[in-house]
Amino acid sequence: MGLYDRFDRRIDYLRVAITDRCNLRCFYCMPENGIELKPHEDLLSYEEIQRFAEAAVEAGISKIRLTGGEPLIRKDAVSLVKMLAATPGLSDMSLTTNGLLLPEYGDALKEAGLRRVNISIDSLDPETYQKLTRYGNIERSIAGMKKALSLGFKAVKINTVLIRGINDDPEDFIKLIYNYPVHVRFIELMPISKWDPNLYVSIDELKAKLEDYGLIGPVEGPVGAGPAKYFGFKGALGTVGFISPISNHFCGGCNRLRLTPDGKLRPCLFSDIEFDIKSILRDNVSKEEIILVIRDVLNSKPEKHEAGKLEKLKRLMCQIGG
């Protein structure tokens, strides 16, 4: 039967943020001094996440992505991947990470059933990367990318949030796709956390720059549930993708729900509407009751976001799930 919202969109993708902690402090995601972290008992346990995931998959979810914060910071995250990957009916298990811990955990993640990985890298220049992340080391992130490639994941994607005057020159990333079979996805800055419209760069503006580097037009993208539109370059090993949540939103094809680390289910990234899942899980309700709640949440999923009217969401990006 599947999951459908009131606008007849099929919902088959669940993003699960398992922690609000991170080992970086990217300025558009988390304040420099961090945030007031949720105590461990306020977070969903792995067993609670598994219970919810099993109900969601039975209802119609077929793809799950783990996010954070930085998901690999949470103790024994590999065991959660293994638990979820074994869910009957789940066709795709993926992870978004900054890559710093992939050299340490990559082999175990692959063995546990992880199929795909997205790595957040906003600049390949060491000084700019450190500025954006506040104290990150690009060499560690690149080592994570290389580890992911060596493990043969289905697709290794690089997520790059565009910021005017800081990382809006794409030259280094074009060189990257000629040297490695990765898929760089340029993402418009969104009005979440710290937002300055003067830093916003539209995808159309970026495309105009890329024409100077030999952009040859649309190509079939790698596997995945994302909204990116992919383009190729002659002779390149990888591709570039464009994600335009502001200038050309893709709400008409939105297929996702988001579960926060403290157990709130959000039908839309750009809305403070959320539903308390943790309490029903801790009340030990049946799987059928969980499915009814999921279907009820879908009735609150908006037809499209209103990010242009947003000043700020109550939650930061690290508290929602990147």
pLDDT tens, position by position, 218-276: 998 888 757 899 999 999 999 999 999 888 888 989 999 999 999 999 998 888 889 99
Residue 225 lies in a domain: yes
Question: Cis bond leading into 69, ω under 30°?
Answer: yes
Q: Nearest Cα to 242, choosing from 254, 250, 252?
A: 250
Looking at the whole model, is its pTM more than 0.85? yes
> Could you give the angle at the alpha carbon of 128 between the alpha carbons of 124 and 132, nearest 5°?
105
Strands in 156-161's sheet, in edge-to-edge order, are 215-218, 229-233, 239-243, 183-187, 156-161, 116-120, 92-97, 63-67, 13-17, 256-259, 264-266, 275-276
Question: Tell me, what CATH number does 263's domain have?
Answer: 3.20.20.70
Count CB-CB contacts under 10 A for residue 300.
16
| Confidence (pLDDT) at 224 | 72
CA torsion angle for 173, 179, 182, 188 (degrees, to 10)?
10
Residue 6 lies in a domain: no
Residue 3 lies in a domain: no
Across the chain, where does the E strand assignment appear? 13-17, 63-67, 92-97, 116-120, 156-161, 183-187, 215-218, 229-233, 239-243, 256-259, 264-266, 275-276
Q: Nearest Cα to 225, choosing from 54, 80, 64?
A: 64
Q: Give the sign of the dihedral formed by CA 316, CA 318, CA 319, CA 320.
A: positive
State CA 302 to chain mean position distance: 20
| Confidence (pLDDT) at 316 | 66
Residue 136 lies in a domain: yes
Residue 191 lies in a domain: yes
Count CB-CB contacts under 10 A for residue 17.
27
Tokens of 99: 């890559």
The pLDDT profile of the chain, 322 residues, written as one tens digit per residue, is 799 999 999 999 999 999 999 999 888 877 777 777 788 899 999 999 999 999 999 999 999 999 999 999 999 999 999 999 999 999 999 999 999 999 999 999 999 999 999 999 999 999 999 999 998 999 999 999 999 999 999 899 999 999 999 999 999 999 999 999 999 999 999 877 666 889 999 999 999 999 888 888 899 888 875 789 999 999 999 999 999 988 888 898 999 999 999 999 999 888 888 999 999 999 999 999 999 999 999 999 999 877 655 555 677 666 777 6
Residue 85 lies in a domain: yes
Query: Is the CB of residue 154 less than 8 Å from the CB of residue 113?
Result: no
Across 136-203, where does the E strand assignment appear? 156-161, 183-187
Residue 248 lies in a domain: yes
* Calpha distance 216→209 (Å, rounded): 13
If one counts the domains in the chain, the total is 1
Phi, psi of 117 (to 5 degrees): -145, 135
| Confidence (pLDDT) at 188 | 93
Sequence-separated (6 or more) residues with CB below 8 Å from residue 197: none
| Confidence (pLDDT) at 239 | 96
Residue 254 lies in a domain: yes
| Confidence (pLDDT) at 28 | 81
Q: Nearest Cα to 73, choosing from 34, 131, 111?
A: 34
Domain ranges, residue 291 = 13-320
